[in-house]
Amino acid sequence: MTTPKGGYPASTSIVVEDVTKSFTLRYHRTLKQMAVARLKGRDISGTFNALDHVSFTVEQGESIGLMGLNGSGKSTLLKLINGVMRPDGGTVLTRGRIAGLIATGAGFHPQLTGRENVFLNAAVLGMSEAETKRKFDDIVEFADIGKFLDSPVGHYSSGMFARLGFAVAIHVDSDIFLADEVLAVGDKPFKQKCLAKMQEIRDSGRTLFYVSHAAPSVRRMCDRVIVLEQGRLAFDGDVDEGIRFVKYDDADGEELTAGEDTDDELGADI
């Protein structure tokens, strides 16, 4: 088990080898709808490949910017690396503990208080009780939600929700950190705090996987860009070339730039 096929060196952090993931789409849910569709000769289900023979390896300490249009398979890839999903074909291998956010505030229970949710979420992310207690003050301080800590998270604003989720995830001693949509919510000071924290993660030698549509923050955070296009690996390499490849450096999309200026550097993930 310790030397998987291919014999990757000890510095390899993530291996994605010929990975395929397809989804089954069911167009109709009720029996009646299905019967009608059958009679009319329409398909009642179909499959589509969210990921199509994707291969790459990541060395420990690299920070990867994952880019691509909506629906290109970024989130699916992240879920495979996170272990939420398993590939249909190919292999995904990771080394060490994984933390991060696949959409903010994952697994928060709206009826429980912030405090209870911190413990629950930390447990889900693989922290022990002692570890959570040790880091609890840091987490609360980072989230900065004040007196709301002891009220149910169902009453939180979306920003507070995200801050608490991010605060927990960022305090896990992980070897691989995944970030998806983390900066979509939250105000400017918090975004800046998150970016600083992520840079800290990167500089500590952890592998960083960062999904973003914002070219400036990718440029700042990452040293390699992977671009997915309809589930296929379209580009893998240098940051600036990658950004040019997805045309986010903006040669022709002038209408986009107007509103982006302010949020540009912070990465307004959409």
Residue with Cβ nearer other proteins (59 or 187): 59
From the CB of 111, what's the least distance to other proteins, in Å? 5
Angle, helix 114-124 to helix 129-143, in steps of 10 degrees:
130
Structure tokens at 45: 């289900």
**Residues 112 and 123: beta-carbon distance below 8 Å:** no
Whole-angstrom Cα distance, residue 151 to residue 208?
33
**Residue number, 103 or 270, with CB nearest to other proteins:** 103
Smallest distance from the beta carbon of 20 to other proteins, in angstroms? 13
> Which CB, 209 or 266, lies closer to other proteins?
209
Write out 222-258 in H/E/C secondary structure. CCEEEEEECCEEEEEECHHHHHHHCCCCCCCCHHHHH
Binding residues for other proteins, per CB under 8 A?
A: 1-2, 4, 8, 12-13, 15, 23-24, 60-61, 79-86, 88, 91-98, 102-103, 106-109, 111-112, 116, 119-120, 123-125, 128-129, 152, 175, 203-206, 223
CB 23 to other proteins: min, Å: 5
Q: Measured from the CB atom, is 22 or 192 closer to other proteins?
A: 22
Q: Which of 19, 124, 8, 5 is nearest to 77 (CA)?
A: 19
Q: How far is the CB of 88 from other proteins (least distance, A)?
A: 8
CB of 188 to other proteins, least distance (A): 26
Q: What residues have CB less than 8 Å from 81, skipping those under 6 apart?
A: 14, 16, 92, 94, 98, 176, 178, 209
Q: From 73, 63, 11, select the one nearest 233 (Cα to Cα).
A: 73
At 196, the amino acid letter reads A
Nearer to other proteins, 12 or 72 (CB): 12
The CB-of-189 to other proteins minimum distance in angstroms stands at 25
CA quadruple 19, 224, 253, 261: dihedral, nearest 10: 130
Residue 49 or 260: the one with the smaller Cβ distance to other proteins is 49
